[in-house]
Chains A and B, each alone.
Chain A
Amino acid sequence: MQNSFYKWIPDWRGWVLPILVILAWDAMSRLDANHAYAFASLGQIWAGVVELSRSGELLVNVQASVQRALTGLLLGASAGFLVGSLVAVSRTANILITPIYHAIRQVPLLGLVPLFALWFGNGDTSKLIVVSLSAFYPVVLSTFEGMLQVDRRFNEVGQVYRLSRWQIYRRITLPAALPQVFTGFSLALAFAWLSTIGSELLFTAGAGLGNLMMNAQEASRMDVLIIVTFVIGVLGYGMSLLIKLASNHLFKWRQVG
């Protein structure tokens, strides 16, 4: 009992470095006018927090980014699940789709940004495509691998019972592969969040945390940049935590130890 209680008190040593970094940063900002311009002091950062929350700017952009990430995740992961299943179940689909999938996947996702900019413009469509693609790749792979790893004997039992191909997929392959599909899904979330921020930095039009950062950079507002970067980290961590909790809850039956 006592042990588990003390586990909740973090080791004080873990706080030393972060606090030192913050103090050093603050000290840099007070050195001279030049440094004050590049490093924002703690007071400035706090003033920035107040300003951004009062004007509602932070909330609007958080909403835009989270919505983009989740929409892209949903679109990309669903498509990825369908394609992954198809490739796992049908040999023809495997032969036709796999080479193109691997060829396109070689291009770094953000390297496709100039291409999408020419095709779909600078706005939300292009961003959504980048985010969806980032979620699509890992889910295809995890679905495909998860379904291939299903014990063949299960399928044979299904055949003995004269289940149709659809029934085998629905009742045997899918449930057995689901935990791994979900692993791909949580990877997809991390990629979707990363590419949301990345695409917002690279496509100039529209709202979002990345756009807020680009504007802040042009205006040399280091305080805003620090705040937004922090918010991005916290949101990313929060979303991955949610997925982890959901996975633990959904796959209780799978857990060993």
Chain B
Amino acid sequence: MTRDWKQFFPFLISPFLLLVVWWWVAAAGWYSDDVLVSPGAVVATLEELTANGELALHLKASFFRLLTGFGLGALTGVLFGIWMAISPRVEAFALPLFQGLRQVPTIALIPILILLLGVDEIFKVIIVTKAAFLTVALAAYDATKGVSKNYFEVARIYHLPKTTLYRKLIIPAITPPVFTGLRIAFSRSWTILVAAELLAADSGIGQMMQLGREMFRLDVVMVGVVITGLVGFSIDKLFKWAEIRLIPWQAAVKA
């Protein structure tokens, strides 16, 4: 335990130094408030936004969109990815269109979606769904394609029922790479949601930052930056933690 701490400690030096320099430069008063605010002011704004419930409101709006969109996109993505990998017919029909769509960055679709759907809730959910769907579908497709042909042959020789084929062979084989795909898809979904909220929203953490930008409230923007960073970081850690719990054999391989 103490040894861990000793190894870890040096890595805290530079963040601490950075904080001190930030605080010191802000205290020296060389820059105006809309260019540089002190760490203390950021914390004070964070407390204020927490106390008046504004932050909770924005986070709730963002999380609702994120979870709905990601849930829809990830679920359909996994199913579609596996389907496309298993059925040669679906692959022949759908893969070219799929590969073509993949070339367009999700963010470039925002203007078209706004024109089609308006700036309402549905637009933000759909853009997140799209981001999650493509990433997850591709991961599931690649993973299923990567399952050795020999396994399928053995399964055919033994006349394995379809359900057993899925439960005993395909699902265990593709779970680790699909999980990685889910993790990447979640962080992409979060990024695209924040961007969509910056562009067009009446609530959400992105909109909070956008308002801060328009009112030259650097402290509000900084709180938003810290919060989006923390959310992204926590989600990533959560997925890694879940990966170890859910897929113990993969963790064993890595260790």
A residues adjacent to B (C-beta < 8 A):
10-11, 13-18, 21, 38-39, 95-100, 103, 106-115, 117-119, 193-194, 197-198, 201-202, 210, 213-214, 216-217, 220, 222, 225-226, 228-230, 232-234, 236-237
Identify A100's interface contact among B14, B95, B230, CB under 8 A: B14
Supposing A14-B97, A114-B210, A115-B221 touch, asked if A103 and B15 sit within 8 A by C-beta, the answer is yes
Q: Are A108 and B15 closer than 8 Å at their CB atoms? A: no
Query: Which B residues lie within 8 Å of A198 (CB)?
Result: 105, 107, 195
Q: Are B112 and A222 closer than 8 Å at their CB atoms? A: yes
Identify A98's interface contact among B11, B89, B195, CB under 8 A: B11
- Tell me if B114 is interfacial: C-beta within 8 Å of chain A: yes
Nearest CB of chain A from residue B29's CB, rounded to whole Å: 18
Considering only CB atoms and an 8 Å cut-off, how many residues of chain B contact the other chain? 54
Q: Are A114 and B198 closer than 8 Å at their CB atoms? A: yes
Nearest CB of chain A from residue B77's CB, rounded to whole Å: 17
- Tell me if B174 is interfacial: C-beta within 8 Å of chain A: no
In B112-134, the 8 Å CB interface with A consists of: 112, 114-116
Q: Are B229 and A217 closer than 8 Å at their CB atoms? A: no
- Tell me if B222 is interfacial: C-beta within 8 Å of chain A: yes
Q: Are A217 and B114 closer than 8 Å at their CB atoms? A: yes
Query: Which A residues lie within 8 Å of B70 (CB)?
Result: none
Query: Which B residues lie within 8 Å of A38 (CB)?
Result: 115-116
Q: Are B96 and A112 closer than 8 Å at their CB atoms? A: no
Q: Are B97 and A201 closer than 8 Å at their CB atoms? A: no
What string of 1s and 0s marks CB contacts (under 8 Å) between B85-123 and chain A? 000010011111100100111011111101110000000
Q: Are B14 and A99 closer than 8 Å at their CB atoms? A: yes
- Tell me if B179 is interfacial: C-beta within 8 Å of chain A: no
Q: Are A100 and B104 closer than 8 Å at their CB atoms? A: no
Query: Which A residues lie within 8 Å of B145 (CB)?
Result: none
Query: Which A residues lie within 8 Å of B210 (CB)?
Result: 114
Residue of A nearest to B107 (CB): A198
In B8-62, the 8 Å CB interface with A consists of: 10-15, 18, 34-35
- Tell me if B191 is interfacial: C-beta within 8 Å of chain A: yes
Would you call the interface of chain B mostly helix, strand, loop, or mixed?
helix
8 A-B pairs with CB atoms under 8 Å apart are A96-B13, A114-B210, A117-B213, A118-B218, A198-B195, A202-B198, A217-B115, A233-B104
Query: Which A residues lie within 8 Å of B244 (CB)?
Result: none
State in angstroms the CA–CA spacing of A39 and B194 once bound together. Answer: 27
Q: Are A99 and B12 closer than 8 Å at their CB atoms? A: yes
State in angstroms the CA–CA spacing of A237 and B104 once bound together. Answer: 9
Identify A213's interface contact among B34, B96, B111, B206, CB under 8 A: B111
- Tell me if B73 is interfacial: C-beta within 8 Å of chain A: no
State in angstroms the CA–CA spacing of A198 and B112 once bound together. Answer: 14
Q: Are A13 and B93 closer than 8 Å at their CB atoms? A: yes
Residue of A nearest to B233 (CB): A106
- Tell me if B141 is interfacial: C-beta within 8 Å of chain A: no
Identify A194's interface contact among B94, B105, B111, B190, CB under 8 A: B105
State in angstroms the CA–CA spacing of A229 and B226 once bound together. Answer: 32
- Tell me if B199 is interfacial: C-beta within 8 Å of chain A: yes
Query: Which B residues lie within 8 Å of A193 (CB)?
Result: 105
Residue of B nearest to A122 (CB): B213
Query: Which A residues lie within 8 Å of B114 (CB)?
Result: 217
State in angstroms the CA–CA spacing of A115 and B215 once bound together. Answer: 12
Q: Are B103 and A233 closer than 8 Å at their CB atoms? A: yes
Nearest CB of chain A from residue B11's CB, rounded to whole Å: 5
State in angstroms the CA–CA spacing of A234 and B105 once bound together. Answer: 11
Query: Which A residues lie within 8 Å of B109 (CB)?
Result: 229
Identify B93's interface contact among A16, A119, A201, A213, CB under 8 A: A16
- Tell me if B209 is interfacial: C-beta within 8 Å of chain A: yes
Query: Which B residues lie within 8 Å of A107 (CB)?
Result: 225-226, 228-229, 232
